[in-house]
Amino acid sequence: MAVSLDTSQMRAARATARPQPTPMAANAPAHTEAEEKPSLVSRSREELGNALMHIGVPEKQVRMRVAQLWHWIYVRGFTDFDRMTNVSKDLRQRLANTFTLARPELVTEQISNDGTRKWLLRFPSRGAGRPVEIETVYVPEEGRGTLCVSSQVGCTLTCTFCHTGTQTLVRNLTSEEIIAQIMVARDRLGDFPDAYTPQGAIVPNEGRMVSNVVMMGMGEPLYNFNEVKKALLIASDGEGLSLSKRRITLSTSGVVPMIARAGEEIGCMLAISLHAVRDELRNKLVPINKKYPLNELLDACRSYPGLSNAKRITFEYVMLKDVNDSLDDAKELVRLLKGMPAKINLIPFNPWPGSPYDCSEWEQIEIFADYVNRAGYASPIRTPRGRDISAACGQLKSESERLRRAEREKLEGISHGD
């Protein structure tokens, strides 16, 4: 049976748990005082340096102090300035008075039978409106632990097989909120030094618990490029969270003009939500195809910076019964990808309430996979994970809604007079 805890249950559980060396800050009730202070999480080194100068750190000390803070925040996962033992007491106090490292509010944690975890996080509204909620999913496997991170609350796109696509975009996440998803996951899994992993948790048999990050949660990351870039550069910083760029994958539905920039400026692995091999069908399944059709998308992929046999593009292909799963489709797929270092992830369709498709028959998925495989492309069939807690690909959605214009304006106290 899947386990689901809400905040009050988590608080109760915490009260009976043994003391943890790293505070489970994500568990803590939202701290209003801390919330009002700006966070130091996800600032660039330069921004962090400016923040330090702002509270009186002499310029010649700034570099050293930034390095110290960087270590405590990202390597150790501290949320309490007072634990930063190589920072003077006086400076720790000034930092605590002015800034926060608090994690966002964790609304619920759900744990699937197969060890997949889904967290519902709440962030402030940032502007008018209500606070927003997003989902982050952790998928443990034998040799790796993959965190599926959201980039937006909802999505502007409306891919017909995707649950997130039924939630209109509420807002982009900030880099701080993107990094916070990684921090919360590491807190909850005890993935910081000297932290405990919860008893019975299913985690990889060796190495880090969060070893991989995929931008495959809610939203289209290339429609929130600057914040996603900032967050991923911090996630891959070798003196901090230290996730190798080979272990970070950005998935896009095909925002062609941004693909080269993702390669040049972020340098992570690329995944494309392909799902159809003919424009006519792709226009329906992935409507952004009407703007950037298959030939433009595949051209952008062929010139993805750093593309090689060691750095292949992953093409995601959701298996929809009698829609895109014929042998002819498999043949066309191989033809389209000819000569490109690629791997194809076949994703059995994950249903959601009211979804208009069925998942392909298993034998059909195998026929498809065999053809693609024999043509020389790795084509693993992704085992659905966390379906019992609606954590599988394409099942994420939150209740956050965009306010109607009139409601927003009321909250903002704006009157346009039009």
**Could you say which of ligand SAH, ligand SF4, none residue 349 binds, taking C-beta under 5 to 8 angstroms by partner kind?**
ligand SAH
- Residues that bind ligand SF4 (rule: CB under 6 A) add up to a total of 11
* Alpha carbons 7 and 243: distance in angstroms, whole number: 29
Q: How far is the CB of 251 from ligand SAH (least distance, A)?
A: 4
Query: Binding residue for ligand SF4 (CB under 6 A) from 108, 136, 164, 224?
Result: 164
Alpha-carbon 251 to chain mean position: 10
Tokens matching residue 100: 């926060």
Q: How far is the CB of 96 from ligand SAH (least distance, A)?
A: 37
Query: Binding residue for ligand SF4 (CB under 6 A) from 133, 177, 191, 220?
Result: 220
Residues of span 149-208 touching ligand SAH by CB under 6 A:
159, 161-162
- Interface stretch with ligand SF4, choices 114-122, 139-147, 162-170, 194-202 (CB under 6 A): 162-170
Return the exposure string of 119-151: e unless at least 16 CB atoms fall within 10 Å of the residue's CB, then b. Answer: bbbbbbeeeebbebbbbbbbbbbeebbbbbbbb
Query: Binding residue for ligand SAH (CB under 6 A) from 24, 106, 216, 255?
Result: 216
**Cα angle: 6, vertex 7, 12; to 5 degrees:** 100
Q: At what angle do helices 362-374 and 327-336 cross, to 10 degrees?
A: 30
Query: Binding residue for ligand SAH (CB under 6 A) from 249, 350, 360, 379?
Result: 350
Query: Binding residue for ligand SF4 (CB under 6 A) from 73, 159, 333, 391?
Result: 159
Q: Report DSSP letters for 295-309, one per residue.
A: HHHHHHHHT-TT-BT
* Alpha carbons 120 and 127: distance in angstroms, whole number: 21
Selected catalytic residue, list 109, 133, 135, 176: 135
Per rule CB under 6 A, is residue 271 in the interface with ligand SF4? no
Q: How far is the CB of 99 from ligand SF4 (least distance, A)?
A: 33
Measured CA to CA in angstroms, residue 200 lies from 111, 115, 143, 195 at distances of 11, 9, 17, 15
- Interface stretch with ligand SAH, choices 23-31, 50-58, 126-134, 346-354 (CB under 6 A): 346-354
Alpha-carbon 226 to chain mean position: 15
Q: How far is the CB of 320 from ligand SF4 (least distance, A)?
A: 13
Task: Please provide the distance, in angstroms rounded to a whole number, between the alpha carbons at the two ends of the chain.
Answer: 54
Indicate if 135 belongs to the active site: yes
Element (H, E) at 284: helix 279-285
Q: Tell me which amino acid residue 391 is.
A: A
Query: Binding residue for ligand SAH (CB under 6 A) from 26, 84, 232, 347?
Result: 347
* Alpha carbons 175 and 193: distance in angstroms, whole number: 24
57 or 288: CB nearest ligand SAH: 288
Tokens matching residue 249: 């994958």
Binding footprint of ligand SAH on the chain (CB under 6 A): 159, 161-162, 216, 220, 251-253, 273, 316, 318, 347, 349-350, 393-394
Binding footprint of ligand SF4 on the chain (CB under 6 A): 155, 157-159, 162, 164-165, 219-220, 253, 273
Catalytic sites, residue numbers: 135, 393
